[in-house]
Structure 1
Amino acid sequence: MTTDVWAEGDAYEAYVGRWSRRVAAAFVPWLDVPAGARWVDVGCGTGALTEAVLALAAPASVLGIDPSDGFLETARAQVPGATFEVGSAAALPVAAGAADAVVSGLAINFVPDATAAVAEFVRVAAPGAVVAAYVWDYADGMQLMRYFWAAVADVDPAGAGLDEGARFPLCRPEPLTRLWLAAGLSDVAVRSIDIPTLFATFDDYWRPFLGGQGAAPGYLATLPPSQQEAIRDAVRARLPVAADGSIALTARAWAVRGVWLSG
Protein backbone atom coordinates (compact mmCIF):
# COMPACT_ATOMS: atom_id res chain seq x y z
CA MET A 1 0.00 0.00 0.00
CA THR A 2 1.38 3.41 -0.97
CA THR A 3 0.84 6.75 0.76
CA ASP A 4 1.29 9.13 -2.16
CA VAL A 5 -0.73 12.31 -1.62
CA TRP A 6 -1.18 14.95 -4.32
CA ALA A 7 -3.56 17.74 -3.30
CA GLU A 8 -1.86 20.77 -1.72
CA GLY A 9 -0.01 22.82 -4.29
CA ASP A 10 2.04 24.98 -1.91
CA ALA A 11 3.35 21.98 0.03
CA TYR A 12 4.28 20.19 -3.21
CA GLU A 13 6.13 23.30 -4.41
CA ALA A 14 8.28 23.29 -1.29
CA TYR A 15 9.03 19.57 -1.62
CA VAL A 16 9.89 18.99 -5.30
CA GLY A 17 7.97 21.55 -7.37
CA ARG A 18 10.74 24.12 -7.05
CA TRP A 19 13.30 21.62 -8.31
CA SER A 20 11.05 20.48 -11.15
CA ARG A 21 11.09 24.05 -12.46
CA ARG A 22 14.85 23.86 -12.95
CA VAL A 23 14.56 20.58 -14.81
CA ALA A 24 11.79 22.01 -17.01
CA ALA A 25 14.05 24.93 -17.98
CA ALA A 26 16.53 22.46 -19.51
CA PHE A 27 13.91 20.06 -20.84
CA VAL A 28 11.88 22.47 -23.00
CA PRO A 29 14.76 23.77 -25.19
CA TRP A 30 15.98 20.18 -25.73
CA LEU A 31 12.65 19.32 -27.40
CA ASP A 32 13.29 21.86 -30.17
CA VAL A 33 9.58 22.47 -30.86
CA PRO A 34 9.00 25.35 -33.30
CA ALA A 35 7.31 28.54 -32.13
CA GLY A 36 3.55 28.74 -32.56
CA ALA A 37 2.93 25.14 -31.51
CA ARG A 38 -0.05 23.80 -29.58
CA TRP A 39 1.19 22.19 -26.36
CA VAL A 40 -0.50 19.79 -23.96
CA ASP A 41 1.09 19.27 -20.54
CA VAL A 42 -0.19 16.01 -19.02
CA GLY A 43 -0.04 15.74 -15.24
CA CYS A 44 0.85 19.43 -15.10
CA GLY A 45 0.64 19.62 -11.32
CA THR A 46 1.36 23.13 -10.07
CA GLY A 47 2.49 24.28 -13.51
CA ALA A 48 6.29 24.03 -13.44
CA LEU A 49 6.58 22.61 -16.97
CA THR A 50 3.68 24.70 -18.29
CA GLU A 51 5.44 27.84 -17.10
CA ALA A 52 8.68 26.82 -18.81
CA VAL A 53 6.86 26.21 -22.10
CA LEU A 54 5.33 29.68 -21.98
CA ALA A 55 8.66 31.30 -21.15
CA LEU A 56 10.91 29.38 -23.53
CA ALA A 57 8.94 27.96 -26.47
CA ALA A 58 6.72 30.80 -27.78
CA PRO A 59 3.69 28.49 -28.02
CA ALA A 60 0.36 29.30 -29.66
CA SER A 61 -1.37 27.67 -26.68
CA VAL A 62 -0.66 25.52 -23.65
CA LEU A 63 -3.24 23.27 -22.02
CA GLY A 64 -2.33 21.80 -18.64
CA ILE A 65 -4.21 18.71 -17.48
CA ASP A 66 -4.13 17.20 -13.99
CA PRO A 67 -6.48 15.14 -11.79
CA SER A 68 -5.84 17.32 -8.70
CA ASP A 69 -8.05 20.37 -8.18
CA GLY A 70 -5.66 21.59 -5.49
CA PHE A 71 -2.67 21.50 -7.81
CA LEU A 72 -4.61 23.23 -10.58
CA GLU A 73 -5.65 26.00 -8.19
CA THR A 74 -1.97 26.73 -7.60
CA ALA A 75 -1.17 26.45 -11.31
CA ARG A 76 -3.88 28.92 -12.30
CA ALA A 77 -2.60 31.42 -9.76
CA GLN A 78 1.05 31.05 -10.73
CA VAL A 79 0.91 30.56 -14.51
CA PRO A 80 -1.25 33.10 -16.32
CA GLY A 81 -1.43 32.59 -20.06
CA ALA A 82 -2.17 28.86 -19.98
CA THR A 83 -5.44 26.95 -19.77
CA PHE A 84 -5.90 24.27 -17.12
CA GLU A 85 -8.43 21.44 -16.97
CA VAL A 86 -9.09 18.54 -14.64
CA GLY A 87 -8.43 15.29 -16.46
CA SER A 88 -6.68 11.94 -16.54
CA ALA A 89 -3.68 10.82 -18.56
CA ALA A 90 -5.74 7.79 -19.58
CA ALA A 91 -8.50 9.92 -21.13
CA LEU A 92 -7.24 13.34 -22.17
CA PRO A 93 -9.89 16.00 -22.85
CA VAL A 94 -8.21 16.77 -26.19
CA ALA A 95 -9.28 15.98 -29.74
CA ALA A 96 -7.28 13.48 -31.79
CA GLY A 97 -4.36 15.08 -33.61
CA ALA A 98 -4.86 18.45 -31.91
CA ALA A 99 -1.41 18.87 -30.29
CA ASP A 100 1.99 19.70 -31.77
CA ALA A 101 3.76 18.81 -28.51
CA VAL A 102 2.55 16.48 -25.78
CA VAL A 103 4.70 16.59 -22.65
CA SER A 104 4.62 15.34 -19.09
CA GLY A 105 6.81 16.20 -16.11
CA LEU A 106 7.24 13.91 -13.09
CA ALA A 107 3.94 12.15 -13.71
CA ILE A 108 4.13 9.16 -16.05
CA ASN A 109 5.43 6.80 -13.35
CA PHE A 110 2.39 7.53 -11.16
CA VAL A 111 -0.11 6.62 -13.88
CA PRO A 112 -1.58 3.13 -13.25
CA ASP A 113 -1.04 2.09 -16.87
CA ALA A 114 1.87 3.95 -18.44
CA THR A 115 1.48 2.13 -21.75
CA ALA A 116 -2.14 3.26 -22.07
CA ALA A 117 -1.15 6.81 -21.09
CA VAL A 118 1.52 7.10 -23.78
CA ALA A 119 -0.94 5.68 -26.31
CA GLU A 120 -3.25 8.53 -25.30
CA PHE A 121 -0.40 11.01 -25.78
CA VAL A 122 0.02 9.64 -29.30
CA ARG A 123 -3.74 9.84 -29.98
CA VAL A 124 -3.79 13.60 -29.43
CA ALA A 125 -0.49 14.20 -31.26
CA ALA A 126 -0.57 15.66 -34.76
CA PRO A 127 1.75 14.16 -37.42
CA GLY A 128 5.25 15.41 -36.67
CA ALA A 129 4.42 16.22 -33.06
CA VAL A 130 6.96 15.79 -30.27
CA VAL A 131 5.94 13.49 -27.42
CA ALA A 132 8.19 13.77 -24.38
CA ALA A 133 8.41 13.39 -20.62
CA TYR A 134 10.78 13.53 -17.69
CA VAL A 135 10.85 11.63 -14.40
CA TRP A 136 13.11 11.67 -11.36
CA ASP A 137 15.97 9.19 -11.19
CA TYR A 138 14.56 7.82 -7.94
CA ALA A 139 16.92 4.86 -7.69
CA ASP A 140 20.20 6.79 -7.82
CA GLY A 141 20.15 10.45 -8.73
CA MET A 142 17.48 12.06 -6.52
CA GLN A 143 19.72 12.61 -3.51
CA LEU A 144 17.26 14.43 -1.26
CA MET A 145 15.04 11.32 -1.36
CA ARG A 146 17.88 8.79 -1.21
CA TYR A 147 19.07 10.10 2.15
CA PHE A 148 15.53 9.96 3.49
CA TRP A 149 14.82 6.38 2.42
CA ALA A 150 18.22 5.17 3.63
CA ALA A 151 17.26 6.44 7.09
CA VAL A 152 13.84 4.80 6.85
CA ALA A 153 15.44 1.44 6.05
CA ASP A 154 17.23 1.60 9.41
CA VAL A 155 14.44 3.04 11.55
CA ASP A 156 11.36 1.41 10.02
CA PRO A 157 12.32 -1.39 7.58
CA ALA A 158 8.66 -2.04 6.80
CA GLY A 159 8.35 1.48 5.43
CA ALA A 160 11.26 1.03 3.04
CA GLY A 161 8.93 -0.73 0.61
CA LEU A 162 7.45 2.66 -0.23
CA ASP A 163 10.79 3.91 -1.58
CA GLU A 164 10.19 5.26 -5.09
CA GLY A 165 13.51 3.79 -6.20
CA ALA A 166 12.05 0.31 -5.83
CA ARG A 167 8.47 1.17 -6.77
CA PHE A 168 9.21 2.87 -10.10
CA PRO A 169 11.50 0.76 -12.30
CA LEU A 170 10.16 2.75 -15.26
CA CYS A 171 12.31 5.71 -14.21
CA ARG A 172 15.45 4.54 -15.99
CA PRO A 173 16.69 5.12 -19.56
CA GLU A 174 16.06 1.63 -20.93
CA PRO A 175 12.41 1.23 -19.76
CA LEU A 176 11.57 4.75 -20.93
CA THR A 177 13.07 4.03 -24.35
CA ARG A 178 11.10 0.78 -24.65
CA LEU A 179 7.87 2.54 -23.63
CA TRP A 180 8.26 5.25 -26.26
CA LEU A 181 9.25 2.82 -29.02
CA ALA A 182 6.32 0.51 -28.20
CA ALA A 183 3.96 3.45 -28.70
CA GLY A 184 5.17 3.80 -32.30
CA LEU A 185 7.25 6.92 -31.77
CA SER A 186 10.33 7.60 -33.91
CA ASP A 187 13.70 9.25 -33.25
CA VAL A 188 13.49 8.27 -29.59
CA ALA A 189 16.20 9.74 -27.37
CA VAL A 190 16.84 9.79 -23.61
CA ARG A 191 19.08 12.15 -21.66
CA SER A 192 19.81 13.00 -18.06
CA ILE A 193 19.20 16.42 -16.58
CA ASP A 194 21.15 17.18 -13.40
CA ILE A 195 20.43 20.18 -11.21
CA PRO A 196 21.85 21.41 -7.87
CA THR A 197 19.53 21.29 -4.87
CA LEU A 198 21.03 23.55 -2.22
CA PHE A 199 19.50 23.79 1.24
CA ALA A 200 20.48 26.65 3.54
CA THR A 201 20.04 24.60 6.71
CA PHE A 202 18.86 21.19 7.84
CA ASP A 203 15.45 22.70 8.61
CA ASP A 204 15.27 23.97 5.02
CA TYR A 205 15.85 20.38 3.88
CA TRP A 206 13.53 18.72 6.41
CA ARG A 207 10.53 21.05 6.55
CA PRO A 208 9.12 20.01 3.12
CA PHE A 209 9.00 16.39 4.32
CA LEU A 210 6.39 17.52 6.85
CA GLY A 211 4.01 18.82 4.18
CA GLY A 212 2.35 15.49 3.43
CA GLN A 213 2.67 15.75 -0.38
CA GLY A 214 4.30 12.88 -2.23
CA ALA A 215 5.48 9.41 -1.24
CA ALA A 216 8.03 10.26 1.45
CA PRO A 217 6.05 13.06 3.16
CA GLY A 218 2.83 11.05 2.87
CA TYR A 219 4.50 8.08 4.56
CA LEU A 220 6.06 10.26 7.26
CA ALA A 221 2.66 11.74 8.12
CA THR A 222 1.37 8.27 9.05
CA LEU A 223 4.03 7.74 11.74
CA PRO A 224 3.88 8.66 15.42
CA PRO A 225 6.05 11.64 16.48
CA SER A 226 8.68 9.39 18.04
CA GLN A 227 9.35 7.58 14.74
CA GLN A 228 9.31 10.83 12.79
CA GLU A 229 11.97 12.19 15.12
CA ALA A 230 14.05 9.01 14.81
CA ILE A 231 13.99 9.25 11.02
CA ARG A 232 14.81 12.96 11.15
CA ASP A 233 17.83 12.28 13.36
CA ALA A 234 18.98 9.41 11.13
CA VAL A 235 18.72 11.61 8.04
CA ARG A 236 20.60 14.44 9.73
CA ALA A 237 23.44 12.07 10.63
CA ARG A 238 23.83 11.02 6.97
CA LEU A 239 23.62 14.37 5.19
CA PRO A 240 26.79 16.18 4.03
CA VAL A 241 26.43 19.36 6.10
CA ALA A 242 28.94 22.13 5.37
CA ALA A 243 30.60 24.26 8.03
CA ASP A 244 28.03 27.02 7.48
CA GLY A 245 25.16 24.56 7.94
CA SER A 246 24.23 24.36 4.26
CA ILE A 247 23.58 21.09 2.44
CA ALA A 248 24.54 20.81 -1.22
CA LEU A 249 22.88 17.91 -3.05
CA THR A 250 21.99 17.14 -6.66
CA ALA A 251 18.87 15.88 -8.37
CA ARG A 252 18.79 13.94 -11.62
CA ALA A 253 15.87 13.51 -13.97
CA TRP A 254 15.65 11.25 -17.01
CA ALA A 255 14.05 12.84 -20.05
CA VAL A 256 12.67 10.95 -23.05
CA ARG A 257 11.64 12.38 -26.42
CA GLY A 258 10.11 10.97 -29.59
CA VAL A 259 8.30 12.10 -32.72
CA TRP A 260 4.90 10.91 -33.93
CA LEU A 261 5.20 10.44 -37.70
CA SER A 262 1.91 8.67 -38.52
CA GLY A 263 -1.36 10.49 -38.99
Structure 2
Amino acid sequence: MQDTWAVGDAYEAYVGRWSRQVAEVFVRRLGLPTGLRWLDVGCGTGALTTAVLAAADPAEVVGVDPSEGFLATARARVNDSRASFEVGDALTLPDGRFDVVVSGLALNFVPDAQLAVAQFARAGDIVAAYVWDYAEGMEMMRHFWDAATALDAAAPDEGRRFPMCRPEPLRRLWTGAGLRDVTVQAVDVPTVFVDFDDYWTPFLGGQGPAPAYVMSLTEDRRQALRDRVRASLPSNPDGTIPLTARAWAIRGRT
Protein backbone atom coordinates (compact mmCIF):
# COMPACT_ATOMS: atom_id res chain seq x y z
CA MET A 1 0.00 0.00 0.00
CA GLN A 2 1.44 3.34 -1.08
CA ASP A 3 1.26 6.52 0.98
CA THR A 4 -1.02 9.10 -0.65
CA TRP A 5 -0.25 12.83 -0.67
CA ALA A 6 -2.43 14.70 -3.14
CA VAL A 7 -5.49 16.40 -1.63
CA GLY A 8 -4.45 19.36 0.49
CA ASP A 9 -7.78 20.00 2.21
CA ALA A 10 -8.11 16.36 3.31
CA TYR A 11 -4.59 16.45 4.74
CA GLU A 12 -5.36 19.69 6.59
CA ALA A 13 -8.38 18.10 8.27
CA TYR A 14 -6.38 15.00 9.20
CA VAL A 15 -3.14 16.37 10.59
CA GLY A 16 -2.39 19.76 9.03
CA ARG A 17 -4.34 21.60 11.70
CA TRP A 18 -2.07 20.13 14.39
CA SER A 19 1.15 20.46 12.41
CA ARG A 20 0.56 24.23 12.27
CA GLN A 21 0.75 24.41 16.06
CA VAL A 22 4.00 22.45 16.10
CA ALA A 23 5.45 24.63 13.33
CA GLU A 24 4.83 27.79 15.34
CA VAL A 25 6.65 26.42 18.41
CA PHE A 26 9.46 25.04 16.25
CA VAL A 27 10.19 28.37 14.53
CA ARG A 28 10.02 30.37 17.76
CA ARG A 29 12.49 28.00 19.44
CA LEU A 30 14.98 28.39 16.60
CA GLY A 31 15.24 32.04 17.60
CA LEU A 32 17.01 33.09 14.41
CA PRO A 33 17.60 36.66 13.19
CA THR A 34 15.25 38.34 10.74
CA GLY A 35 16.01 38.84 7.07
CA LEU A 36 17.32 35.34 6.33
CA ARG A 37 16.73 33.10 3.30
CA TRP A 38 14.85 29.91 4.21
CA LEU A 39 14.26 26.66 2.32
CA ASP A 40 11.28 24.55 3.45
CA VAL A 41 11.76 20.99 2.21
CA GLY A 42 8.60 18.89 1.95
CA CYS A 43 6.56 22.02 2.52
CA GLY A 44 3.24 20.27 1.96
CA THR A 45 0.29 22.64 2.39
CA GLY A 46 2.49 25.42 3.75
CA ALA A 47 2.21 25.07 7.53
CA LEU A 48 5.89 25.58 8.24
CA THR A 49 6.31 28.28 5.59
CA THR A 50 3.43 30.18 7.17
CA ALA A 51 5.06 29.92 10.60
CA VAL A 52 8.38 31.19 9.23
CA LEU A 53 6.69 34.18 7.62
CA ALA A 54 4.81 35.03 10.81
CA ALA A 55 7.53 34.48 13.40
CA ALA A 56 10.91 34.88 11.68
CA ASP A 57 10.41 37.83 9.29
CA PRO A 58 12.49 36.23 6.52
CA ALA A 59 13.77 37.86 3.37
CA GLU A 60 12.55 34.83 1.41
CA VAL A 61 11.07 31.36 1.89
CA VAL A 62 11.20 28.78 -0.89
CA GLY A 63 8.96 25.75 -0.36
CA VAL A 64 9.52 22.53 -2.30
CA ASP A 65 7.32 19.45 -2.37
CA PRO A 66 6.72 16.59 -4.83
CA SER A 67 2.92 16.88 -4.56
CA GLU A 68 1.27 19.29 -7.03
CA GLY A 69 -1.95 19.01 -5.05
CA PHE A 70 -0.31 20.09 -1.80
CA LEU A 71 1.53 22.92 -3.54
CA ALA A 72 -1.74 24.21 -5.00
CA THR A 73 -3.16 24.37 -1.48
CA ALA A 74 -0.02 26.12 -0.19
CA ARG A 75 -0.14 28.74 -2.95
CA ALA A 76 -3.82 29.42 -2.26
CA ARG A 77 -3.28 29.80 1.49
CA VAL A 78 0.02 31.67 1.65
CA ASN A 79 -0.45 35.19 0.29
CA ASP A 80 2.99 36.73 0.80
CA SER A 81 5.41 37.94 -1.87
CA ARG A 82 8.34 36.61 0.15
CA ALA A 83 7.14 33.01 -0.33
CA SER A 84 7.35 30.85 -3.44
CA PHE A 85 6.59 27.17 -4.01
CA GLU A 86 7.98 24.74 -6.54
CA VAL A 87 7.94 21.05 -7.31
CA GLY A 88 10.94 19.23 -5.86
CA ASP A 89 12.03 16.76 -3.26
CA ALA A 90 14.57 16.32 -0.48
CA LEU A 91 17.11 14.60 -2.74
CA THR A 92 17.09 17.25 -5.51
CA LEU A 93 17.10 20.63 -3.77
CA PRO A 94 17.09 23.97 -5.61
CA ASP A 95 20.45 25.47 -6.49
CA GLY A 96 21.82 28.19 -4.27
CA ARG A 97 22.77 28.67 -0.66
CA PHE A 98 20.22 29.32 2.07
CA ASP A 99 20.73 30.58 5.59
CA VAL A 100 18.26 28.03 6.98
CA VAL A 101 16.99 24.69 5.67
CA VAL A 102 13.97 23.30 7.50
CA SER A 103 11.67 20.33 7.03
CA GLY A 104 8.43 19.58 8.85
CA LEU A 105 6.91 16.10 9.17
CA ALA A 106 8.48 14.91 5.91
CA LEU A 107 11.92 13.40 6.50
CA ASN A 108 10.67 9.91 7.42
CA PHE A 109 8.90 9.63 4.04
CA VAL A 110 12.10 10.29 2.06
CA PRO A 111 13.59 7.10 0.55
CA ASP A 112 17.11 7.93 1.78
CA ALA A 113 17.00 10.09 4.91
CA GLN A 114 20.79 10.18 5.33
CA LEU A 115 21.27 11.47 1.79
CA ALA A 116 18.49 14.01 2.36
CA VAL A 117 20.14 15.42 5.47
CA ALA A 118 23.44 15.59 3.60
CA GLN A 119 21.63 17.63 0.93
CA PHE A 120 20.19 19.89 3.64
CA ALA A 121 23.71 20.47 4.96
CA ARG A 122 24.97 21.26 1.46
CA ALA A 123 22.21 23.82 0.95
CA GLY A 124 22.06 25.64 4.27
CA ASP A 125 23.98 26.96 7.26
CA ILE A 126 21.36 26.04 9.87
CA VAL A 127 19.59 22.70 9.34
CA ALA A 128 16.50 21.89 11.39
CA ALA A 129 13.52 19.54 11.14
CA TYR A 130 10.76 17.89 13.11
CA VAL A 131 8.91 14.58 12.81
CA TRP A 132 6.01 13.04 14.70
CA ASP A 133 6.76 10.73 17.60
CA TYR A 134 4.85 7.89 15.96
CA ALA A 135 5.94 5.29 18.48
CA GLU A 136 4.49 7.01 21.51
CA GLY A 137 3.71 10.71 21.82
CA MET A 138 1.57 11.39 18.71
CA GLU A 139 -1.52 10.12 20.50
CA MET A 140 -4.15 10.42 17.76
CA MET A 141 -2.06 8.08 15.58
CA ARG A 142 -0.93 5.88 18.46
CA HIS A 143 -4.52 5.09 19.51
CA PHE A 144 -5.35 4.37 15.88
CA TRP A 145 -2.43 2.01 15.21
CA ASP A 146 -2.79 0.19 18.53
CA ALA A 147 -6.36 -0.63 17.54
CA ALA A 148 -5.41 -1.47 13.96
CA THR A 149 -2.61 -3.86 14.89
CA ALA A 150 -4.83 -5.58 17.48
CA LEU A 151 -7.19 -6.47 14.62
CA ASP A 152 -4.55 -6.95 11.91
CA ALA A 153 -0.97 -7.82 12.85
CA ALA A 154 0.15 -6.79 9.35
CA ALA A 155 -1.23 -3.24 9.63
CA PRO A 156 1.53 -0.77 8.58
CA ASP A 157 2.01 0.78 12.03
CA GLU A 158 3.96 4.02 11.58
CA GLY A 159 5.67 3.46 14.93
CA ARG A 160 7.31 0.36 13.44
CA ARG A 161 7.75 1.81 9.96
CA PHE A 162 9.63 4.89 11.11
CA PRO A 163 12.11 3.96 13.87
CA MET A 164 14.18 7.01 12.89
CA CYS A 165 11.55 9.28 14.49
CA ARG A 166 13.18 9.13 17.90
CA PRO A 167 15.87 11.36 19.44
CA GLU A 168 18.96 9.17 19.02
CA PRO A 169 18.35 8.04 15.42
CA LEU A 170 17.69 11.67 14.47
CA ARG A 171 20.87 12.77 16.20
CA ARG A 172 22.85 10.15 14.26
CA LEU A 173 21.43 11.45 10.98
CA TRP A 174 22.54 15.01 11.76
CA THR A 175 26.00 14.13 13.06
CA GLY A 176 26.45 11.68 10.18
CA ALA A 177 25.98 14.60 7.78
CA GLY A 178 28.75 16.52 9.52
CA LEU A 179 26.44 18.92 11.35
CA ARG A 180 27.59 20.36 14.68
CA ASP A 181 25.98 21.64 17.88
CA VAL A 182 23.13 19.19 17.38
CA THR A 183 20.19 19.40 19.78
CA VAL A 184 16.92 17.41 19.95
CA GLN A 185 13.82 18.61 21.80
CA ALA A 186 10.24 17.43 22.19
CA VAL A 187 7.45 19.69 21.00
CA ASP A 188 4.11 18.86 22.63
CA VAL A 189 0.84 20.50 21.59
CA PRO A 190 -2.74 19.77 22.68
CA THR A 191 -5.01 18.13 20.13
CA VAL A 192 -8.54 18.37 21.49
CA PHE A 193 -11.23 16.91 19.24
CA VAL A 194 -14.78 18.23 19.48
CA ASP A 195 -16.22 14.71 19.40
CA PHE A 196 -15.49 11.30 17.91
CA ASP A 197 -16.64 12.35 14.43
CA ASP A 198 -14.11 15.19 14.53
CA TYR A 199 -11.44 12.58 15.30
CA TRP A 200 -12.56 9.82 12.91
CA THR A 201 -13.83 11.58 9.78
CA PRO A 202 -10.38 12.81 8.68
CA PHE A 203 -9.21 9.18 8.60
CA LEU A 204 -11.65 8.72 5.70
CA GLY A 205 -9.85 11.30 3.55
CA GLY A 206 -7.19 8.89 2.29
CA GLN A 207 -4.23 11.27 2.81
CA GLY A 208 -1.29 9.73 4.68
CA PRO A 209 -0.56 6.19 5.85
CA ALA A 210 -3.34 5.74 8.42
CA PRO A 211 -6.17 7.16 6.26
CA ALA A 212 -4.90 5.18 3.25
CA TYR A 213 -5.02 2.03 5.38
CA VAL A 214 -8.58 2.80 6.51
CA MET A 215 -9.76 3.24 2.95
CA SER A 216 -8.13 -0.05 1.89
CA LEU A 217 -10.37 -2.01 4.29
CA THR A 218 -13.73 -3.58 3.58
CA GLU A 219 -16.71 -1.83 5.16
CA ASP A 220 -17.03 -4.49 7.87
CA ARG A 221 -13.35 -4.28 8.82
CA ARG A 222 -13.46 -0.48 8.75
CA GLN A 223 -16.42 -0.49 11.12
CA ALA A 224 -14.67 -2.93 13.49
CA LEU A 225 -11.61 -0.68 13.54
CA ARG A 226 -13.74 2.39 14.12
CA ASP A 227 -15.46 0.77 17.09
CA ARG A 228 -12.18 -0.38 18.62
CA VAL A 229 -10.55 3.04 18.25
CA ARG A 230 -13.59 4.73 19.76
CA ALA A 231 -13.52 2.45 22.80
CA SER A 232 -9.84 3.24 23.41
CA LEU A 233 -10.07 7.03 23.39
CA PRO A 234 -10.37 9.18 26.52
CA SER A 235 -13.27 11.60 26.67
CA ASN A 236 -14.43 14.52 28.77
CA PRO A 237 -17.97 14.88 30.14
CA ASP A 238 -18.80 17.27 27.29
CA GLY A 239 -17.76 14.67 24.69
CA THR A 240 -14.47 16.27 23.71
CA ILE A 241 -11.46 14.01 23.26
CA PRO A 242 -8.31 15.40 24.93
CA LEU A 243 -5.11 14.14 23.31
CA THR A 244 -1.55 15.40 22.87
CA ALA A 245 0.67 15.43 19.79
CA ARG A 246 4.43 15.16 20.24
CA ALA A 247 7.01 15.88 17.61
CA TRP A 248 10.78 15.58 17.88
CA ALA A 249 12.59 18.70 16.70
CA ILE A 250 16.29 18.65 15.78
CA ARG A 251 18.73 21.35 14.72
CA GLY A 252 22.39 21.66 13.88
CA ARG A 253 24.75 23.87 11.91
CA THR A 254 27.38 23.39 9.24
TM-score range, shorter chain: over 0.9
**CA distance in 2: counterparts of 1:179 and 1:157, whole angstroms:** 30
| Number of residue pairs aligned between Structure 1 and Structure 2 | 252
Deviation at 1:154, TM superposition (A): 2.1
Partner of residue 61, structure 1: 60
Q: 1:94 to 1:80 in 2, by over 3 A?
A: farther
Runs of 4+ in structure 1 over 4 Å off = none
Matching residue's letter, 1:148: F
Partner of residue 137, structure 1: 133
TM-score by length of structure 2 reads 0.98
Matching residue's letter, 2:93: L
Corresponding position: 1:165 with 2:159: yes
**Percent identity (aligned):** 63
Q: What secondary structure is seen at the aligned counterpart in 2 of 1:149?
A: helix
1:40-98 Cα distance to aligned partner (Å, 9 max, x none): 00000000000000000010000000000000000001112210000011011222xx1
Partner of residue 205, structure 2: 211
* Root mean square deviation, CA, Å: 0.8
Deviation at 1:243, TM superposition (A): 1.6
**CA distance in 2: counterparts of 1:3 and 1:194, whole angstroms:** 28
Deviation at 1:151, TM superposition (A): 1.1
Partner of residue 249, structure 2: 255
Q: What secondary structure is seen at the aligned counterpart in 2 of 1:248?
A: strand
Deviation at 1:158, TM superposition (A): 2.2
**CA distance in 2: counterparts of 1:28 and 1:79, whole angstroms:** 17
Q: What secondary structure is seen at the aligned counterpart in 2 of 1:135?
A: strand
Structure 2: runs of 5+ lacking an equivalent = none
1:88-138 Cα distance to aligned partner (Å, 9 max, x none): 11011222xx1000000000010000011011111112xxx2100000000
Partner of residue 7, structure 2: 8
Query: Within 5 Å, which residues of 2 pair with 1:1-263?
Result: 2-81=1-80, 82-95=83-96, 98-125=97-124, 129-159=125-155, 162-260=156-254
Q: What secondary structure is seen at the aligned counterpart in 2 of 1:59?
A: coil
1:235-255 Cα distance to aligned partner (Å, 9 max, x none): 011111222111000000000
Structure 1: runs of 5+ lacking an equivalent = none
**CA distance in 1: counterparts of 2:40 and 2:50, whole angstroms:** 10
Contact 2:149 / 2:157 at 8 angstroms: preserved in 1?
A: no
Matching residue's letter, 2:138: M
1:175-214 Cα distance to aligned partner (Å, 9 max, x none): 1111101111111000000000000100000000000000
Contact 1:31 / 1:130 at 8 angstroms: preserved in 2?
A: no
